[in-house]
Homo-oligomer: A and B are copies of this chain.
Amino acid sequence: MINKNAFRDMSYGVYIVSTLDGARPTGCVANSVMQITSEPATIAVSINHGNYTNSCIEKTGKFAISILSEESDSGLIGTFGFQSGKEVNKFDGVEAVVKEDVSVIADACGYVICKVIDKMETFTHTVFLGEVIDADVLKKEDAMTYAYYHKVVKGKSPKNAPTYIAEEAEEVKTAKWVCGICGYEYDGKVPFEELPEDFTCPLCKQPKSVFKKVD
């Protein structure tokens, strides 16, 4: 018997994985990142086939991991996690620093740049193995864990994330107001209907009008 709720106890960070689309930077949100070897240092990252970033990493053979901190702007998750880099330049308006030609989120607590040295294909995701060519700490802040994002920021998973299914298992008990763009669930004390009209989604910054009532 597979009780998928057990998967929710596995711990992850929250990362923006970026690469190049020609000369343009692009990227997506990822949780599935882990160090594999220490000398030389290698990192594995799992990216859904459906993510535009996957095909771009395939082409350039290079990726950056920006490690988000608890203080990082959670709007980054909406920007990078809930729209496609095929259609928009996700780095528009995002403060970035370029390292080894790849754009890194300036608001992250650290970054790691890798060149792809191997990969493993699965049904839906590619696990890229990257050798680290550059890495540094940007801010002395606690790294954001997925549990923190879920519990404190009240965030949801993009639908391509392996963690997505686990959340579907949650029971919906009462009517909720959910952002139609990023899935953020409003749970403030003020009833949603009474919020000012200039209320915006704290995650993806979309207006109040994109919220939908879910029974």
Chain A positions near chain B (C-beta within 8 angstroms): 1-7, 9-13, 31-44, 46, 67, 69, 109-112, 118-120, 122-125, 127, 129, 132-137, 142-147, 162-166
In the assembled complex, how far is the CB of residue A143 from the closest CB belonging to chain B, in whole angstroms? 4
Q: B10–A11 contact, CB under 8 A?
A: no
Contact assessment for B135 and A4 in the assembled complex, using a CB-CB cutoff below 8 Å = yes
Q: Which residue of B43, B120, B144 is within 8 Å of A118 (Cβ)?
A: B120
Nearest CB of chain B from residue A154's CB, rounded to whole Å: 17
The interface residues of chain B lying within 8 Å CB-to-CB of A40 are: 123
Neighbouring B residues of A46 by C-beta, 8 Å: 34, 36, 44
From A12, A40, A164, residue with most partner B Cβ within 10 Å: A12
In the complex, chain B residues whose CB is within 8 Å of the CB of A11: 11-13, 143-146
In the complex, are the beta carbons of B137 and A9 less than 8 A apart? yes
Q: How far is the CA of A36 from the CA of B126 in the complex (A)?
A: 9
B-side contacts of A120, CB under 8 Å:
44, 118-120, 127, 129
Contacts A6-B67, A34-B32, A36-B46 known; A118 to B122 CB distance under 8 Å? yes
CA distance A147 to B146 in the complex (A): 13
Q: Which residue of B lies closest to A135 (CB)?
A: B6
